Amino acid sequence: MRQGRVAYAGSAEALEVTDAYPSRQGQPSRIIGRGEPVVFSETPVGKYSLAGEHLRFYRENGYLLLKGWFTEEATALMQEEFARLLANREIRDLENVICEPGSREIRSLFDLPVLSALYGRLCRSRRVLDAVMQILGGPVYLHQSRINIKPAFWGKSFPWHSDFETWHVEDGFPRMRCLSCSIFLTENNHWNGPLFVIPGSHRHYVSCSGLTPDDHYRESLKNQYYGSPDVKILGKLMDQGAIETCTGGPGDMLIFDGNMMHGSPDNISHLPRTNIFLAYNSCENPPVEPYCGLKRRPAFLASRECTPLVPLDDD
């Protein structure tokens, strides 16, 4: 099996780490059982920590939708900041701004703290981090941040995938001690391309076939192929847990496990769908070299700055 090396913060020592979740190494696609916890701690870390029933649902299903998690005032500020960024035509030339295939319409904005001081504070908000640090059992850092945009009528889909599979293969995450938070800036309904999840799929790692091409991210951010599971395996996961649609309104927050199988369809409605995604990794799960054997992805996709985030109180 492929080997990786991890150097712990503040130490020159390195430890050999066996690839517990091989994928895209030329083998057929298969299912591997999860070998670690989903919830690492139930101990509250702040006033926005989760209650027992929330933690139970998250542990069993791999996701949790928190309705009205952000106030109307805070949500309005996030919406206004998004409109300001979108109105800036010059940002379309930045590497961390991804446009739709064949057009200049923005699909994703990455590295939000660099683009916006307000979003930089959001990434460190106690309203987000209390739940994240509780689930992951300690200090975390921001691995990736982005806004995904699906304009009315033609916003394109995202195929079924597990974020952890990519973060493991292409970024070097040894373990599944990671998760994402999605904050809804618009209505997410059944017709405008909402997030689909397969409850319980987070307990099964899907090893994908094929080999990762060089600079895979340049294509995968627009149209992913490698890292999308075999359809037969997807069918097995769907037989075990029917597809759920994550619908809600502005200010809702969805938390989902890094290994959750998820995707989203085209937006065929007259209403746009815009969501913020914040991906966090435990500081006790620092990335090693990519398990695909290729060079690291750019920092705007995969931060290696593992300094623990300090939660910011509301203001």
112-150 confidence digits (pLDDT tens):
999 999 999 999 999 999 999 999 999 999 999 999 999
Beta carbons of 21 and 2 less than 8 angstroms apart: no
* pLDDT grade for 12, boundaries at 50, 70 and 90: very low
User: Do strands 3-7 and 14-18 pair parallel, antiparallel, or not at all (unpaired)?
Assistant: antiparallel
* pLDDT grade for 225, boundaries at 50, 70 and 90: low
pTM, rounded to two decimals: 0.91
**213 pLDDT exceeds 80?**
no
Pick the closest to residue 283 from 163, 138, 127, 172 (CA basis). 138
Question: Rounded mean pLDDT of 55-79?
Answer: 98
Q: Report how far residue 259's alpha carbon sits from residue 203's, in angstroms, rounded to the nearest whole number.
A: 8
Percentage of residues in the chain having pLDDT higher than 90: 75
- Condensed to tens digits (0 to 9), the pLDDT of residues 264-286 reads 999 999 999 999 999 999 999 99
DSSP state of 92: G
pLDDT given at position 196: 98
Average pLDDT, the chain: 89
Q: Which residues of the chain form beta strands (DSSP E)?
A: 3-7, 14-18, 30-33, 63-66, 97-99, 106-110, 140-150, 158-162, 178-184, 195-197, 204-207, 244-246, 253-257, 261-264, 273-282
What does the block give as tokens for 285? 């799960």
- For the chain, the domains span 3-8+20-282
pLDDT given at position 218: 55
**9 pLDDT exceeds 60?**
no
Task: Say which residue, 202 or 226, is predicted with more confidence.
Answer: 202
Question: Rounded mean pLDDT of 18-45?
Answer: 93
Pick the closest to residue 169 from 23, 5, 3, 17 (CA basis). 23
- Range of lowest pLDDT (45-59, 74-88, 199-213): 199-213
* pLDDT grade for 101, boundaries at 50, 70 and 90: low
pLDDT given at position 15: 39
- 3-8+20-282 carries CATH number 2.60.120.620: yes
Question: Rounded mean pLDDT of 5-33?
Answer: 67
Distance of CA 72 to the CA centre of its chain: 24
Q: Report how far residue 185's alpha carbon sits from residue 248's, in angstroms, rounded to the nearest whole number.
A: 10
Q: Which residue has the tokens 């106690």?
A: 126
Task: Say which residue, 268 or 226, is predicted with more confidence.
Answer: 268
pLDDT given at position 154: 87
pLDDT given at position 210: 82
pLDDT given at position 23: 94
Indicate the Cα dihedral angle 72, 158, 165, 44, nearest 10°. Answer: 10
**5 pLDDT exceeds 60?**
no
